[in-house]
Chains A and B, each alone.
Chain A
Amino acid sequence: MIEVRELTKTYVLDGQVFKAVDNVSFVIGRGEMASIIGHSGSGKTTLLSLIGGLTKPASGSVLIEGKAIWSMSDDELSGFRNRKMNFIYQFSSLVPTLTALENILLPTAFGDHGENLVDYARELLGVVGLTEKENSYPSHLSGGQQRRIAIARAFINKPDIVLADEPTGDLDEDTENEIIALFNRMNKDAGTTFVIVTHNKEIAALTGHQLKMANGIVSDISRA
């Protein structure tokens, strides 16, 4: 369960305090598929980063399974991210010096994930339809292919929570549908909680829990 309580994130721009996330509270249940829609600049990425513990809020708290993430030490929080969460970024996020397969495996370098996950990485590569690109470097992949590798990477650590920032932004409709199907499968089979930021109302409509964001403020539109 993700619990967001009176969360505020401010930036100082030209001497003015600007609230990118403004006193936001909501709850996303365990195993839910949630979507956040909103205009550009409304604070969606900032909110996801706050939930993922990538940036510190000015005030308020984020509780994951009842644990306030900002009460953890930096190392604990890193370890928590490494085991329990994963991100899909709005922009290209592959490491240029690693091959597709290595990029997918990268999160496993920062924690003990026990078993050898190479086979699982190959399986994920197959799921996103890029088996033949296993040894390609990002510079030799199209934008959409890079995106699919990043999506595959988001599942390598078998996370409880996936925070996806416009995950299908540069994908064609067919591929987009495949990715959404993948998310649904992961959600059903592994009980993975998804928070998906999207502009796409159709995708939002497919999720059980819809949030709308405008000027840093979140409103819960629906709870299925």
Chain B
Amino acid sequence: MKKIRIFTLAARNLRRKFIRTLVLLLIVAVVTGTLLSATIFISGMKNALRIGTYRLGADVLVVPEKNESQAKAALLAGEPTSFYMSRDVLKKVQAVEGVGKATAQLFIKPASFTCCANVDAFLVAFDPKMDFTIEPWLQKNLKKPLTDEEIIVGSSIPVVVGDTLPFFGTPFTVVGTMEPTGMKFFDQSVFMTMDAAYQMAENSKTKAMEPISINRDEISAVLVQDQENFNPDRVAIKIEHDVAGVKAIASDEVVSTVRRQLGGLLKGILAISAVLWGLALLMMGFAFYMIVNERQRELGLLRAMGAKKGHVFGLIISEAVAISIVGGIVGMAVGSALLLSFKNLIMHSLKLPYLLPSAVVLIELIAGAVLFAVLTGLLASLLPAVSASRMEPYEAIRKGE
């Protein structure tokens, strides 16, 4: 038999009142799990937003006026789409005051049977000479120009480098895969050169079951980088004013749309969490008030045996902390498991970009959640523990009788 310690007493008490311990543990678990999954969720969306808009690399996206909503849906929710306008738009946009760089892209929605089981692939063709959105990545990672037979794919496309993917009857070789961004627009995209896309369209007439027709003077969008000191919103307004029939979407606008949706969600989650936490704190506080009350006599006896105030305080607190740590860990595990398994479902219904935070952030969040649980336990048991330690031993022993 080992030496008796304060913790022995705490552990025995928790075991003795097993049901109560379990209930308190579950309360802590639910609160921790909810808070943790809420924060992981929110930080994941922020993460996606940050990386996604950075990846877009453009201040303004110019699309045909009638396709504004399609373009936004493509950007935000990654819904594949095809729309075209005249290449003249590029020249006109380049002439607008405040426009620094401008480059054309083609968006092509592939025929559904072309590739990749359940992933909605989305073809994006860019102009290697003028592009500033994909090119920097290519230069850094591929270190050679993309040929017209090659493609780069987003992280969600289930292929590896060296695979061959046919689009509209033309085979392409995968030469690179991009790291995940959380935005479907990027993660499900297949990038090829403009020339390759036009060639593919031409070939489709003879090679594909569902041919597409795109003229060499058709483009889907113009991506604009503003000159320094120009406000993207202003430039967008100017483009719409100067160029007929287009809609200029400032990337800020895209971000702020998401932010707004996120903001509402955030407030809701925050309110629920706060209420939940308050309730948990109250319930735990009440439970510990009762625990101290019903154990008055025992605590008084301990004091009479020479337990210092600190010992009694520590006994109560360590019971609360033990519950909190175990509850926190359970909540953390269950919460993250649920979040991960229902991530896609949640994302799908919310139509928001999502990217799991990095491992470091994740570990921070998890550690934070467990710490938070422990703090909750401490807070809930603090007053009862103080009042327990302050009782006069003789009074405590008598009252408990």
Q: CB of A101 within 8 A of chain B?
A: yes
Q: CB of B139 within 8 A of chain A?
A: no
Distance in Å from the Cβ of A99 to the closest Cβ of chain B? 9
Interface stretch of the complex, out of A25-33, A90-98, A199-207: A90-98
Are A109 and B5 closer than 8 Å at their CB atoms? Answer: yes
Of the residues A82, A96, A105, A116, contact of B306 by C-beta under 8 Å: A82
Binding site for A on B (CB under 8 A): 1, 3-6, 8-9, 12-13, 15-16, 298, 300-311, 392-395, 397, 401
Are B306 and A97 closer than 8 Å at their CB atoms? Answer: no
Distance in Å from the Cβ of B105 to the closest Cβ of chain A? 72
Binding site for B on A (CB under 8 A): 46, 49, 52, 54-56, 74-75, 78-83, 86-87, 89, 91, 93, 95-98, 101-102, 105-111, 116, 118, 157
Distance in Å from the Cβ of B386 to the closest Cβ of chain A? 14
Known contacts A55-B392, A110-B302; is-contact A102 B8 (Cβ 8 Å): yes
Are B4 and A98 closer than 8 Å at their CB atoms? Answer: yes
Distance in Å from the Cβ of B29 to the closest Cβ of chain A? 24
Are B305 and A97 closer than 8 Å at their CB atoms? Answer: no
Are A54 and B397 closer than 8 Å at their CB atoms? Answer: yes
Distance in Å from the Cβ of B12 to the closest Cβ of chain A? 4
Distance in Å from the Cβ of B7 to the closest Cβ of chain A? 9
Are B304 and A81 closer than 8 Å at their CB atoms? Answer: yes
Of the residues A91, A96, A107, contact of B305 by C-beta under 8 Å: A107
Distance in Å from the Cβ of B19 to the closest Cβ of chain A? 15
Of the residues B6, B9, B306, B397, contact of A107 by C-beta under 8 Å: B306
Known contacts A93-B301, A110-B308; is-contact A101 B16 (Cβ 8 Å): no
**Cα A79 to Cα B307 with chains together (Å):** 8
Are B4 and A55 closer than 8 Å at their CB atoms? Answer: no
**Cα A191 to Cα B341 with chains together (Å):** 71
Are A96 and B16 closer than 8 Å at their CB atoms? Answer: yes
Are B4 and A106 closer than 8 Å at their CB atoms? Answer: yes
Are A75 and B401 closer than 8 Å at their CB atoms? Answer: no
Are B308 and A89 closer than 8 Å at their CB atoms? Answer: no
Are B309 and A74 closer than 8 Å at their CB atoms? Answer: yes
Are A95 and B301 closer than 8 Å at their CB atoms? Answer: yes
**Cα A111 to Cα B302 with chains together (Å):** 12
A101 contacts across to B, CB distance below 8 A = 1
Distance in Å from the Cβ of A65 to the closest Cβ of chain B? 17
Distance in Å from the Cβ of A52 to the closest Cβ of chain B? 7
B397 contacts across to A, CB distance below 8 A = 54, 89, 93
A52 contacts across to B, CB distance below 8 A = 304
**Cα A46 to Cα B302 with chains together (Å):** 18
B302 contacts across to A, CB distance below 8 A = 95, 106, 110
Are B16 and A97 closer than 8 Å at their CB atoms? Answer: yes
B306 contacts across to A, CB distance below 8 A = 78-83, 107, 110-111, 157
**Cα A123 to Cα B76 with chains together (Å):** 78
**Cα A20 to Cα B189 with chains together (Å):** 88
**Cα A81 to Cα B304 with chains together (Å):** 7
Are B395 and A97 closer than 8 Å at their CB atoms? Answer: no
B301 contacts across to A, CB distance below 8 A = 89, 93, 95
Distance in Å from the Cβ of A40 to the closest Cβ of chain B? 15
